Amino acid sequence: MNELNANKSFSADEGGHHVEVERQLHHFYPKLKKYSYFLAKNKWDAEDLIQETFFKAMKYYHSSEISAALLNKIAYHEWIDTVKKRKVEVFKTLEDESKEYTACKADRLIDLVKLLVNNLTPKQAVIFMLKEAFSYQSKEIANLLDTTEMAVKSTLHRAKKRLNNDTSLQSIDSFWKEEEREKLFELLYQSLQAEDPVILIDCISTLHSLAETSKLAQPTHSGSPLNMYSMAA
């Protein structure tokens, strides 16, 4: 019986505490509302901030401790926590989007390189890459491959016809050895991925089908392979 009475007494005290705290909160509401709007800068966040501040005040403080300064302090720290959480969420979202973009970019580059090595001769693939991906001029490519500007333009023209599925052209199978196809695939992919034509240019002499006509030279610029991306769309 005594235990039951004690529980009833505790419940009554607790109820009285909440009533008094609510009275205090109602009294300080206008000031807290003004301060919350100052912190949040918008109606919706301010209202959420007020509710959370009231909840924590009722849960952790006695009515005698409630003051405008205390409520502002609770609101301030609650807002700081909210901002931090949002920054983490934004960063995570950006990180996820970056990973998705990187994976998507890699897939697109692989498809582009497959398109080149499966439809062009080694020489056509190299010239097409330097011209369309890295914006080299025909004269620059001619100097790199120790050939004429006219020959580069002619090769580029044939390459574009092949990519447009011109079936009247000679088969490319006789121009390729499987090991060289794999090697050039890696070079083209790495150059595109790093946006660095030097990776390809430095290895031209190692490609048997181009070795006899290549001339090692340092490139005068490095373009960004943006034109190639539009081909995959």
Q: What would the pLDDT profile of 160-199 be if each residue is shown by its tens digit? A: 988 887 666 677 777 778 888 889 999 999 998 888 999 9
Residues 187 and 199 sit within 8 Å (Cβ to Cβ): yes
Instruction: Examine the pLDDT at 14 and tell me if it is beyond 70.
Output: no
Q: Which residue has the higher pLDDT, 91 or 4?
A: 91
Indicate the pTM of the whole model: 0.52
Q: In the CATH scheme, what is the code of domain 2-92?
A: 1.10.1740
In the chain, CATH 1.10.1740 covers: 2-92
Q: Which residue has the higher pLDDT, 18 or 22?
A: 22
Instruction: Examine the pLDDT at 221 and tell me if it is beyond 80.
Output: no
- Predicted confidence band at 140 (pLDDT cuts at 50, 70, 90)? very high
Mean pLDDT of 11-38: 76
Q: Which residue has the higher pLDDT, 226 or 176?
A: 176
- Predicted confidence band at 62 (pLDDT cuts at 50, 70, 90)? confident
Mean pLDDT across the chain, nearest whole number? 78
Residue 207: predicted pLDDT = 80
Instruction: Examine the pLDDT at 214 and tell me if it is beyond 70.
Output: no
Window from 38-42, 87-91, 108-112, 143-147 with minimum mean pLDDT:
87-91
**How much of the chain is in helix, strand and coil states, percent to nearest 5?**
80, 0, 20
Residue 85: predicted pLDDT = 86
